[in-house]
Amino acid sequence: MSDMASHFVVRSVDRADPEIIAALRTAGVATAHEAAGRIGLLGPRIQARQTGSAIAGSAITVSCHPGDNLMIHAAVEVCRPGDVLVVTTTSPSTDGMFGELLATSLAARGVVGLVIDAGVRDTAELREMSFPVWSRAVHAQGTVKASPGSVNIPVVADGQIVRPGDIVVADDDGVLVLPAASGGRVAEAAAKRVENEKEKRRQLADGTLGVDMYNLRPLLAELGVQYVDRLPEGS
């Protein structure tokens, strides 16, 4: 088989139920991450380039040559409403591979946001058009359209594997990726955590201390932590 045949644009993706995706968006990254057993979180180098945006959707994955956004353009065609585009490069890159024009194209397809393990630019325009992005960098360095890559293959974004159709949840706290098959279980567990946190929030607002609410005083004593009014002289 020739090298030319090793690059693919895969058109078909198995997506999760939209109601499950919506529930995970409502839960948010931190709660869903805990509910999932603390798995699936992308590293902290990929950060939100706006504040207050919260999205969830099915992953359309892209593997690009660094400094080349050809395959992002190829990926737009296979996107559907509610998808999240997840872009990676085959070696580390901070080039501005994505900007206002590509965002306009994705928005026309109903894509809800971008996660990219590289750079973006036109950030003021992206905020103005309310197209949320999470990226490794903001960098005005332009790119070319010359090298082959693939769409909808497994990729790795900041240390986390992302498969086509995975559920992507992103907000101010970062980006979480979950297998579509686990979405229902995680959404149910997240809803229980949200209800439990409501009661904890009420107790804390009423003045209850966390060490009492979580019954932490015995643990502190077991660990040898002592309560004293003042340190002994000479300590």
Question: Which residue numbers belong to the known binding site?
Answer: 99-102, 121-122
Known binding-site positions for Mg(2+): 122
Element (DSSP H or E) covering residue 30? helix 29-35
Go through 152-187 and write b for each residue having 16 or more CB atoms within 10 A of its CB, e for each that does not.
bbebebbebebbbbbbbbbbebbbbbbebebbeebb
Closest CA to 82 of 104, 109, 101, 61: 109
Max distance between CA atoms of the chain, in angstroms, equals 79
Known binding-site positions for substrate: 99-102, 121
> What is the rounded distance in angstroms from the CA atom of residue 173 to the CA atom of residue 181?
23
